[in-house]
Chain A
Amino acid sequence: MISFSVNKRPVKVDVDPSTPLLWVLRENLELTGTKYGCGMAQCGACTVHINGQAVRSCVAPVSRAAGKEITTIEGLSPDLSHPLQRAWLEIDVPQCGYCQSGQIMSAAVLLNEIPNPTDDDIDQALTGNICRCGTYPRIRRAVHRAAEMMAKGGAR
């Protein structure tokens, strides 16, 4: 039995410790907002936070989560009120949407560490999150917009 917290909720799962965290989130805990993309940490669709740090959950064994705080896209805010979610909606960033939860989770780590990022900071932080639809210009704009919201007290 492996214990950890997901979106501030304590959970225990009875799975093989080598099971990818992604499958535990999606199959055992039914948190399907986090997506499976490549399965080898090369696309970023499966990005979640472990103790506030971005992690590709498709390659992280669930044993790595033991005793830690996991945040998924569902836990970023309870009501889509996180500045990144609001900015994403305002700018209408997604096209197909498949990569977007990973994009937002990576962007959240960026804004935690660099509240007012430059274009270079954004490109650097998100270059490992691939978007087949090519929504990168809107992603960049939305991250800037979220940073503005946070600067004006919009962080929740």
Chain B
Amino acid sequence: MIRYRDVLRSIFSILLCVVSCLVSANGQRNAASAAAFEAMLPVLHHPRCMNCHSAGDFPRQGDDSHPHAMNVRRGPEGRGVTSQKCSTCHQDHNLAGLHMPPGAPDWQMPPRNTPMIWAGLTDNQLCELLKEPKQNGHRNIDQIVEHMTTPKLVLWGWNPGEGRTPVPMSQADFAAKVKEWAVGGAVCPAASSSASHAATQ
């Protein structure tokens, strides 16, 4: 009987250790994922991204994120309105010279019904918004990774043309952080530790 109790105690100890290790590993994995997201933030907060993810029903331009010249509006599909659509001036490539219209294939901003406005959000809120299918174009995590690492419109941030500052991280490093965030469970930074990004509100 005593031996049986010892065996039970040993099994319980081992189980406790395994669960504890798993919880600890999961916690480390969560922390790594959240840290990867925080490492992505200098890119997400950069004018090259924020100018189309800014507050208001219009795009912005320039490193100072001023409202787009000519009173350009978002439009229902994020492609402008009537005779002032994005494609009126923007080509599928940058044009040479200062103050010339930048360009990339499928130049657009988020559509009106899912505007994906990042301005004013805490890091936690931004992270949660990115993952919200009703707001992100019904993208799952894999598709979010793809959106952040593949389309030429997004990659334009690394090659924005003359007079515009590129996003402050190499494309390879950013892609690695995005994938690290996703593989770790797309964990968001804690709400309490997040600071609001007030630029371009």
Contacts and interface: CB of A to CB of B under 8 A. Distances in A.
Interface of A: 40-42, 47, 53-56, 59-61, 64, 105-107, 109-110, 113-114, 121, 123-128
Given A53-B88, A54-B88, A124-B71, A41 B82 contact: no
A60 B99 CA distance: 15
B101 A106 contact: no
6 tightest Cβ-Cβ pairs between the two chains A and B: A106-B83, A128-B70, A41-B89, A54-B83, A109-B83, A125-B82
A64 B84 CA distance: 18
Contacts, number: 67
B16 interface: no
Contacts of B53: none
Given A59-B95, A124-B71, A124-B73, A113 B101 contact: no
Contacts of B82: 54, 109-110, 113-114, 121, 124-125
Interface of B: 69-73, 81-85, 87-89, 91, 95, 97, 99-101
Contacts of A53: 85, 87-88
A59 B83 contact: no
A109 B85 CA distance: 11
A59 B94 CA distance: 10
B86 to A, nearest CB: 10
26 contacts: A41-B88, A41-B100, A41-B101, A42-B99, A47-B83, A47-B88, A54-B83, A54-B84, A59-B89, A59-B95, A59-B100, A64-B91, A106-B83, A106-B84, A107-B83, A109-B82, A113-B81, A121-B82, A124-B71, A124-B73, A124-B84, A125-B84, A127-B70, A127-B84, A128-B88, A128-B89
Given A54-B83, A54-B85, A109-B82, A40 B101 contact: yes
